[in-house]
Amino acid sequence: MTDDLPVTSNRVDLTQLHPRFVERLRQFFADDRITGRVQIVSAGRSYAEQTRLFGKYKHRGGNLAADPDRVMPGGWRGSWHMEQEDGYCYAVDFRNGGGITNDRINDIATEYGIVPTIKHQEWWHHQPRNQYEWFESACAKDSTTYYPPVDWAALARLVEEIGRQVAASPLRRGARGFAVEIVQRRLGALGFDTGPADEVFGRKTRRAVKGFQRVKGLKVDGVVGGKTWRVMWL
């Protein structure tokens, strides 16, 4: 759970951050020097969201955003904010709420192994690791929990089971629940922006479903039935 971490809005997606990173953030925000002074303004992003931000930066002069299709050393993709092959994201942006300098925020964050990526250009952008290893921490007490890589066989079984449910009872606008979240995350990974993966099949999710169906030559009805579900995983 990440409900105890301070965010600027409910659109900030903390659910895809690596659990070890969340532990460090929780300890950082509990520090008396930080509590009440700093918030998270941006966190995890789907491929679709990163693509949207990059397009805005490239064509309309929006905030700097990395190309989602670049490949970094070590096989890391796009942006540290963007979901990686292991299913996790590894960056947050901070907002200074006052009563502390940006440099001081950076110094304290570094104590917890949350390091500004480009300290003198983007003080707000922080990550807990580079391409090869996690940053050392003077203060954070990292859990000894082992976070295994994605179990692809188990994921395939889950996709198959949810597919049977969806075939029997298609997902449409107004639907809620875990299956909707999976649809949102999958479409986001495929480049169709549903907004936050909030388990609510709303207007934006329906629009993303229709966009996907149109590209794949499916019936464009904004409903995720068995066929649309299957094509999503080809």
CATH number at residue 65: 3.30.1380.10
pLDDT band at 86 (very low <50, low <70, confident <90, very high): confident
Find the farthest-apart pair of alpha carbons in the chain and give their distance in angstroms, rounded: 56
Position 62 in a domain: yes
DSSP code for 150: P
Position 144 in a domain: no
Q: Is 162 buried (19+), middle (13-18) or exposed (0-12) by CB count in 10 A? A: middle
Residue 223's domain is classified under what CATH number? 1.10.101.10
Q: Is the pTM of this model over 0.85?
A: no
Position 52 in a domain: yes
Q: Identify the domain boundary among 127, 143, 170.
A: 127
Encode pLDDT of 99-126 as tens digits: 999 999 999 999 999 999 887 788 999 9
Q: Would you state the pLDDT for residue 87?
A: 84
Q: Would you state the pLDDT for residue 56?
A: 84
Chain centroid, CA 195 distance in Å:
11
25 and 115 inside one domain: yes
Query: Across the strands, what pairs with 224?
Result: 171
Q: How far is CA 2 from CA 23, 55, 168, 227, in A?
A: 9, 29, 33, 35
DSSP code for 135: P
* Integer-rounded Cα radius of gyration of the chain: 19
What mean pLDDT do residues 26-49 have? 95
Position with higher pLDDT, 113 vs 63: 113
Position 4 in a domain: no
* Alpha carbons 109 and 150: distance in angstroms, whole number: 29
Query: Across the strands, what pairs with 171?
Result: 224
The total number of structural domains that make up the chain: 2
| Contact by Cβ (8 Å): 42, 93 | yes
Residue 58 has pLDDT above 90, yes or no: no
Structural domain containing residue 57? 19-127
37 and 112 inside one domain: yes
Percent of the chain with pLDDT over 70: 96
What mean pLDDT do residues 115-140 have? 90
Strand, helix or coil for residue 170: coil
121 and 158 inside one domain: no
Position 1 in a domain: no
* Alpha carbons 227 and 17: distance in angstroms, whole number: 31
94 and 25 inside one domain: yes
97 and 158 inside one domain: no
39 and 118 inside one domain: yes
| Contact by Cβ (8 Å): 5, 29 | yes
Position 89 in a domain: yes
Q: Would you state the pLDDT for residue 65?
A: 82
Q: Take residue 70 and report the two structure tokens written for it.
A: 């670049």
120 and 212 inside one domain: no
